[in-house]
Amino acid sequence: MSGYQALRFEIYQELGECYTAVGQLARASRYLHQARQECWQDPRPLVSLGVIALKENQPQEARNYFEAALALKPEDDQALYGLGQVAQSIGQLPEARQWFQAAWERNPDNLEALKGILATGEEPESLELAAGALRTHLERRPADLKMLQRLADIYVRQGKAADAVDLLERILIFEPDNLEAQDLLARVQGADQNATNTLS
């Protein structure tokens, strides 16, 4: 691909993404198809077209685009995440969780995939999977207070009150006005106090 062709590709791709972001999906689709014509080996237009298909409530078409992107680049975390969104949109939560996990394992910076893991299950094994993913993320980004709070919330749901309190107190050191953390801490401590009173 020539330098001029590569430039045209990037322009079309960026225009497609921009028009998708503002909801002009037909125009976005035209630019993305033009990008695809400029460089069929790049999976990004296919991923973006899959996103548009999801927005238009066409999960099978979206799946086709994401699978085509993976055929070009099997480790593409955005395409894997897209397949998770497809599965989630049709209620296939175990499958969605597998795709989200695969996307996150390919790219631990893909926070949308991590959020997908968190959103697709309340059963014990799902919560433990989400907690493990968050712990790994926080090893790399210990100052990510939003994810620290998500982990605290999971600990509450797992019945790990002491671990949740430890995390929430750490959050409140840095964000003393964090109302959500304050509320969750009060609920956990209140539940512990009620349990103590019941036992005594």
Assigned domain for 41 exists: yes
**pLDDT digits (tens), the chain, 200 positions:** 678 899 999 999 999 999 999 999 999 999 999 999 999 999 999 999 999 999 999 999 999 999 999 999 999 999 999 999 999 999 999 999 999 999 999 998 898 998 899 888 777 888 888 899 899 999 999 999 999 999 999 999 999 999 999 999 999 999 999 999 999 999 998 876 655 555 44
Give residues with Cβ within 8 angstroms of 81, minimum separation 6: 99, 100, 103, 110, 112, 113, 116
Query: Where residue 198 sits, what CATH number does that domain have?
Result: 1.25.40.10
184 and 150 fall within a common domain:
yes
Assigned domain for 107 exists: no
Assigned domain for 74 exists: yes
Give residues with Cβ within 8 angstroms of 181, minimum separation 6: 149, 152, 168, 171, 172, 175
* Neighbouring C-alpha atoms within 13 Å toward the C-beta of 85: 26
For 163, the domain range is: 122-200
Give the count of domains, the chain.
2
Side chain identity, residue 164: A
Residue among 24, 65, 63, 25 at smallest CA distance from 43: 65
The 10 Å Cβ neighbour count of residue 122 is 9
